[in-house]
Chains A and B, each alone.
Chain A
Amino acid sequence: MRVELAPIAPELLLVGAGIAVLLGGVLARRADPLAHLAVSLAGVAGAAAASVMLWSREGATALAGAVAVDRFGVVARLVLLGVAALALLLAHHTLARDGELRPEVPALILFATAGMTLLAVSADLVTTFVALEVLSLSLYVLTGSSRRLVSLEGAMKYFLLGAFSTAFFLYGVAMAYGATGTTSLGGIAHALAGRTETPALALVAMALLAVGFGFKVSAAPFHMWTPDAYQGAPTAVTAFMSAGTKVAAFAALLRVLDVALQPLGWDWGPVVAGLAAVSVVVGSVLAIAQTDVKRMLAYSSVAHAGFVLIGATAPGAPGIDAALFYLLAYALMIVGAFGVVSLVSQGERGTSLEDHAGLYRRSPVLAGLFALFLLSLAGIPPTAGFIAKVSVFRAAVEAGHWWLALVGVLASVVAAFAYIRLMVLMYMREPVGHREPDPSPVPRLVLAIPAAGTLLLGVLPGLVTDVLGKAAVLRW
């Protein structure tokens, strides 16, 4: 039996680096965090190189239909690996500062990344489930990895609701198998195509899978865990999970909707549109009511899940293209925003809105970076967030969902208030208290990467449209 390992080489490299860090942490006489960071980054870089090598060999599926080999998978993997590299650097600095850095943290980030990249390329619902579990279990532990009570509380809520949603997903997989006799995405599409009446079991499967994915991408009304988990987790971990989980889960969701359930497009269209509308409204309105910056960004991430869903309502390549661009822009700006918060705050202190008052006086660089990410989150030109919003709205309008685009525009106006209020606090108010932001220059340089990306994609979106256009075709 010949086994072709190249299609999962990125995951193997990530897991290998994770195991090396884990064992290095307990076997070495003196654990050296810098060595762990170097090994982790080498693993991520190797995984990125292995993904790029897959660009030219666009095939169907590999490993007995378990994973897809396509350019969509390559782009999703590269976004995820970029997020992981930024998160590793941020976590290394901020957790060491707060005395919470242990070798398990980079190792778990690597394992979670392996789960995310596998999720983005899975071509079988069983692979999807395994990848989902790898990423979720690592993130539950990472959320509770600091010794603070609020962190453990967030981890507990995340774990319980995550396990609950996993049950929904698994039940959906079982129903899909019952309806079609297969769990491979291509096989399900084949079995559903060309039927005059839709089997009821397939509709039940669709609904259950939608609930499972809704939890993972934190779309309203399945977002309840998001604020607590995002607030409780160490901020660098929040940056990782907010960007990574969303990109990976949306990649898998797009595959399920546009490949496996493509014959049921008329049935899932209204469901996705409903989830999108509820998410943008709930996320935007509740973001205003928050007094904690991490919770505010958590609700904003709920709204952003809704915007990606608006793009996903357009079937086929245009929708995938828009959603992929949105995910890229979202990953850049949310990692940057949480990265700034991780430098302004320390541990669980310093995350309230008040603590960001007068940030411009204390650190003009951090205030400037945060302002850029907030403008992008609000969707104001010339940032990536603006182009991303325009592209999802255009995809939705072209697919005939103009009302959805209207709801999206109104919700972004509402959400802009929350972001701009924070900017007013940073620039026009005097600092309160004596808390000084982290002065070290290295993490600022790290944050300059997503900042440059946010600006560049906002000014010259043409840089990536060619690549994304080629990646927007799913193969199975």
Chain B
Amino acid sequence: MRGMLGEYLPIALLAGLALLFAVGSLAASALLRPSRPTPAKLAPYECGIEPVRLPAGERFSVRFYLVAMLFIIFDVEVIFLFPWAVAFRELGLFGLVEMAVFLALVLVAYVYVWRGGGLDWSAEGPRPRATHERAREVVRAG
């Protein structure tokens, strides 16, 4: 028990040091700096862009999430493909079949979303069944 916890001692030390450094830096800068606030100084820093507050209660279309999720799925697919390609010869036929099964399953998900109208962004086009009306119902009731 003691031996196992002992292995974690360096991690605990590092975590402690990191915490000390962060708190220490903030404390030092708060003590040493002159305090002359202006509205521009107090604004949150956002990569040079004027910070904009989104209108309260604005809703994102659920399709943003759908596209984001599809992106992640294909991203993960590629992440799996690279190491497989590197070790292709060692894995042999087994690896090929496994990867084909994996790709086929991802393709099924893609075909489902595509044919179900999930990628259709035009207002007039075929709407995704049900999801649309459900979203409206929630908005009305909520």
Contacts and interface: CB of A to CB of B under 8 A. Distances in A.
A26 B117 CA distance: 9
A178 B4 CA distance: 10
Given A1-B94, A102-B129, A102-B130, A200 B1 contact: yes
A152 B138 contact: yes
Interface string A177-201: 0100000000000000000000110
Nearest to A15: B105
Interface in B94-126: 94, 105, 108, 111-112, 115-116
B137 interface: yes
Given A149-B138, A152-B138, A27 B111 contact: yes
Given A3-B94, A200-B1, A23 B130 contact: no
B108 A149 contact: no
Contacts of A3: 94
A19 B116 CA distance: 14
Contacts of B115: 26-27
B140 to A, nearest CB: 10
Contacts of B141: 149
Interface residues of A, number: 14
B94 A147 contact: no
B138 A26 contact: no
B1 A199 contact: yes
Contacts of A1: 92, 94
Contacts of A178: 4
Interface string A22-55: 1100110000000000000000000000000000
Nearest to A199: B1
B112 A23 contact: yes
A22 B94 contact: no
A118 to B, nearest CB: 16
A83 to B, nearest CB: 26
B133 interface: yes
Given A102-B129, A147-B130, A23 B137 contact: no
A199 B1 CA distance: 7
Contacts of A147: 130, 133-134, 137
A101 to B, nearest CB: 11
B108 A19 contact: yes
A26 B130 contact: no
B94 A26 contact: no
Given A1-B92, A22-B112, A199-B1, 5 more contacts: A19-B108, A22-B108, A23-B108, A147-B130, A147-B133
Top 6 A-B residue pairs of the complex, sorted by shortest distance between their CB atoms: A26-B115, A1-B94, A147-B134, A26-B116, A19-B108, A149-B141
Interface of B: 1, 4, 92, 94, 105, 108, 111-112, 115-116, 129-130, 133-134, 137-138, 141
